[in-house]
Structure 1
Amino acid sequence: MSEGLVVVVRSIIGYFSLFIFTRALGKQQISQLTFFDYVLGITIGSIAASLTTDLSSRAWPHWVGLFTWAILSFLLQSMTIKWMYIAKYVDGEPTIVIMNGEIMEDALRKMKYRIEDVLQLLRNKDIFDLSEVEFAILEPNGNISVLKKAEHNPLTPKDMNISVQPSNISTELIYDGMIIEENLAKIKKDKNWLIKELKKQKVKDISQVFLATLESTGNLYIDKYEDNGKNKDNTKK
């Protein structure tokens, strides 16, 4: 068997092994991963890479290693779900780093965080003044959660006793020049209605439309191929 064919076979084994293991371990988002999860993922990926390309050794020891790491990860994940005190030590706990606008230096020192790191995270939340912050909590995944002081919170319709209509997601009606019949049926419209709405915006053919969506407000948003992002047409339902 040629080396190329061996690599192909090993790649298939490694690919489907990783697929099965990652599906079994759940669908945690990248933003939710702790540092340990990140390192664990790199390690499992490295083992899969060795399984694929390390032709100087047999494949099965690499696969056993990959299987062992995946099983240990699954067991540890199950334990953290079942027992909160284990999750506390494995994933860590949220830590208050700012309280009443004052920085908790001891907490930062224990977490080996610099104040510059915290300020950067706050700027990502559009906060440039520490005095606006009631509490800032550093989450185990490295993100920061912020509670602003009441006087710095923006006004909402509820604060002003203004009633508003509930918001809904938009419905795609055309994508890449093709009508999405299923979505048209959901809003109880037909192709003739859609064509008439397009003609109101001087769109002669559906093939001219890259995207058309019916917004929750009843507006029909149309993006044409030839507009190059300059002309966005909207028409009322």
Structure 2
Amino acid sequence: MLDEALVVIVRVVISFFSLLIFTRILGKQEVGQLTFFDYINGITIGSIAATLATDLSSKVWAHWVGLAGYAILTGVLQYVTVKNRYLGKVLDGEPTVVIENGKILEKNLKKMRIKMSELMMLLRDKGVFDITQVEYAIIEINGGLSVLQKANNLPVTPKDLHIPSTPSRLSTEVIQDGIVIEQNLKQRKKDIDWLNGQLKGRGITDVKEVAYALILPNEQLYIDKYEDHIGDEADMGDYEGPY
């Protein structure tokens, strides 16, 4: 048993560093930017690497060749799709318009095998709740949705109004799950007394009532309590049921 464990450890090291080298060679790409083929290909490469590490019934060499083969073919396809636009379209697909001037293009939606409910979800994810406000909506090759709203629905920027603006800043967490993050308070040049004063001003006597709190870029404090007291909550379901 000890011998088998040592063999597995050696194979794990080989598999781990092989994956590390191949992924560095193939380049960085966010998961959200992967096409469906890239996603499946990544799963397959990972599966081969796992088998290389744990399948003691076969030789390491055979699995490593398979792993290297998948990585090399992936690299070749990446090179081809960059150099040849036509083959890139064939292999990766191309963006598809699914909404134009507020009208849903059902044929294109069916071609992409996307249900109407999924399209509505993607629109809501982009902050669009009124489909008539959409000039164009495009399904990208990674399955994401890009939305161009109609000109009269686009938000006005300070630049449009010729209003001077201050540089953008990040928000800073100061309370999480009822616990004060003192280091972050110091970064924003605040202290516990300031925080307690802000909480008391909102009627909060115990910091444990707060689930999350941020110091916003404008120095205001955003507070989310465990008990929100919203009242009638919006129901997204279309049928009555336990879930």
TM-score scaled by structure 2?
0.72
Deviations 1:84-125 (A, max 9, x none): 112111111111000000001111111111111111100111
1:44 equivalenced with 2:17 (yes/no): no
* Alignment of structure 1 residues 1-237 onto 2, 5 Å: 2-167=3-168, 209-211=182-184, 220=189
Q: 1:114 to 1:7 in 2, by over 3 A?
A: same
Say if 1:221 and 1:143 are closer, same or farther in 2 by CA, change over 3 A: farther
Identity of aligned residues (%): 50
Gaps of 5+ in 1: 172-207
Q: Per the alignment, in what secondary structure is the counterpart of residue 184 of structure 2?
A: strand
Give aligned pairs, total. Answer: 195
- 2:25 aligned partner, one-letter code: A
Q: CA RMSD in A?
A: 2.7
Deviation, structure 1 residue 213: 7.1
1:119/1:69 CA distance change after superposition, 3 Å: same
Partner residue of 2:241? none
Partner AA of 1:77 in structure 2: Q
How far residue 67 of structure 1 moved from its aligned partner, in angstroms, is: 0.5
Instruction: Give me the whole-angstrom Cα distance separating, in 2, the residues matched to 1:93 and 1:59.
Output: 39
What letter corresponds to residue 211 of structure 1 in structure 2? N
Q: What amino acid maps onto 2:69 in structure 1?
A: T
Partners of 2:92 and 2:153 in 1: CA distance: 32
Deviation at 1:232, TM superposition (A): 6.5
Give, in angstroms, the shift of residue 211 of structure 1.
2.5
Preserved CA contact (<8 Å) 2:134 2:150? yes
Query: TM-score of the superposition, structure 1-length normalised?
Result: 0.74
2:171–2:214 CA contact under 8 A, matched in 1: no
Which residue pairs with 1:192 in the alignment? none
Letter in 1 for 2:125: N
CA separation of 1:136/1:233 partners in 2, compared to 1, >3 Å: closer, same or farther?
A: closer
Q: Which runs of 5+ in 2 are unaligned?
A: 173-180, 196-206, 220-243
What SS class does the counterpart of residue 97 from structure 2 fall into? strand
Partner SS, residue 6 of structure 2: helix
- 1:231 offset after TM fit, Å? 7.3
Q: CA deviation at 1:159?
A: 2.3
Distance 1:57 1:143, change over 3 A: same
Q: What is the distance in 2 between the residues matched to 1:25 and 1:138?
A: 25
